[in-house]
Amino acid sequence: MQLGIVGLGRMGGNIFRRLSNAGHTCIGFDVDAAARGALDKDGLGTVASLQELVNALTPPRAIWIMLPAGQITEDAIQSLGNMLEPDDVIIDGGNTFYKDDIRRARELAAKQIHYVDCGTSGGVWGLERGYCLMIGGPADAVHRLDPIFSVLAPGMGEIARTPKREGDARAEQGYIHAGPAGAGHFVKMVHNGVEYGLMQAYAEGFDILSNKDSAELPEDERFTLNLADIAEVWRRGSVISSWLLDLSAAALAQDPQLDGFSGYVEDSGEGRWTVQAAIEEAVPAEVLTSALYARYRSRRDTTFADKMLSAMRLGFGGHIEKRVGGQTVLTPDAPAPRDVGD
C-alpha cells in the first residue's frame, strides 16, 4: 500500500522504516532537511514540500501526520485539506486532543475527505517492537488502511491469549478501531493518564525505599537498601512487574542515585486532558489527578521519586529533562519495551 508521511522525527521516521521494511511504499516530508536526509541516505524516498507529497501519491491518497500536537499539526492538516481530493484520507498519529479531532473530521467531511485519528503508543522502540494503535474514524476508511495498521501493530508476540476472550481479533494484534472520529485519541489520552499514575506509584515506592536509611529514623530501623537489586528482583515473577519497572531497573543499574537527573518532570498534555475528561464526566480520578499534580510540584521541589519519573520518561520516549548539566542515557542493553506512551 502507498502512504505519505508528514513528520520524520523519531517516531515518524521509524513508522516510515517499519512500513517500508514490510513492503509498503512510503513517501515522506519534513520541513527539516536533515530528517529527510536521514531517510534518503537509507534509500527511502522523501520530498521537499507538502504539495510535492500530494502530487507523488496516487488517489485515493492516504497521508499520516506525525507531528507534535498543537498549531503545527493544525496547520499541516488545514494545508492538506486544501490540496487533497474526495475520498483521500488524513491520519493524525500524534497526541491530539480528541475534541480537535471531532472538529477536523466535520470540516474535512464537507470536502469529502476522510479523517482518522490514531493514538500511537510505541515511542522510540516502535521500529522493532511495533506500535499499539487506538484508532478513531469512519469504518470504511479504517478498513481501507488495515494493511498499514496491521504492519505497524506488534502482533501477539509472546503474550498469552486472554482466557475466554471474545471480541475484535485486531485487539490481540495490538490495534483497535475504537469508534468514530476522536475515539482513538480519547482512548490514548486515558492510556497516558493511567501511565502517569503507574509511574508515580513506582516512583514513590522507590523514594520510600531510598529513604529507609534516614537519620530521622531510630538507628535499628535504618536499612541501606540496594535499589537496583530490588528493581531487578521485582521484575522477575512479581505481580507488579512491567516494562516501566524494566526501565527503572535499567536506570538504577547505570546510575544508582540517579544523579544524572534533576527530577524536573514535564507533562505532555494528555494527563491534563484526562483529568479534564474526568471532571466533565463527574468521575473520581484521585490517583491520576495526584500524579499530574506531582509533576507540577517537581518543577519547584524535586525528590528521588521525581528522578525516577524522569528516568522512565527518558527510557520509553527519549524525553530529556529541561535542565543544565549531564543526562543519563539508557544503553542499547536496556530491556526492550512492552508498551509505551506519554
Cβ-contact 123, 11 below 8 angstroms: yes
Query: Which has the closest alpha carbon to 91: 111, 70, 121, 114?
Result: 114
* Total Cβ atoms within 10 A of residue 139: 10
Q: What whole-number distance in Å separates Cα of residue 119 and Cα of residue 94?
A: 7
Residue 10 bridge partners (DSSP): none
How is residue 127 written as a grid cell? 521500529
Indicate if 188 belongs to the active site: yes
Burial class (CB in 10 A: 0-12, 13-18, 19+), 153: buried
Q: What whole-number distance in Å separates Cα of residue 202 and Cα of residue 304?
A: 11
Cβ-contact 335, 312 below 8 angstroms: no
Q: What whole-number distance in Å separates Cα of residue 322 and Cα of residue 331?
A: 21
Residue 234 belongs to what H/E stretch? helix 227-234
Write the DSSP symbol of residue 161: P
Q: From the candidates 85, 128, 166, 188, give the one annotated as an active-site residue.
A: 188
* Total Cβ atoms within 10 A of residue 213: 12
How is residue 261 written as a grid cell? 537527573
Q: From the candidates 172, 195, 212, 280, give the one annotated as an active-site residue.
A: 195
Q: What whole-number distance in Å separates Cα of residue 3 and Cα of residue 286?
A: 42
Q: Provide the greatest CA pair distance for the chain.
A: 75
Q: State how far the alpha carbon of 11 is from the alpha carbons of 55, 89, 220, in Å.
A: 24, 20, 50
**Catalytic site positions:** 188, 195
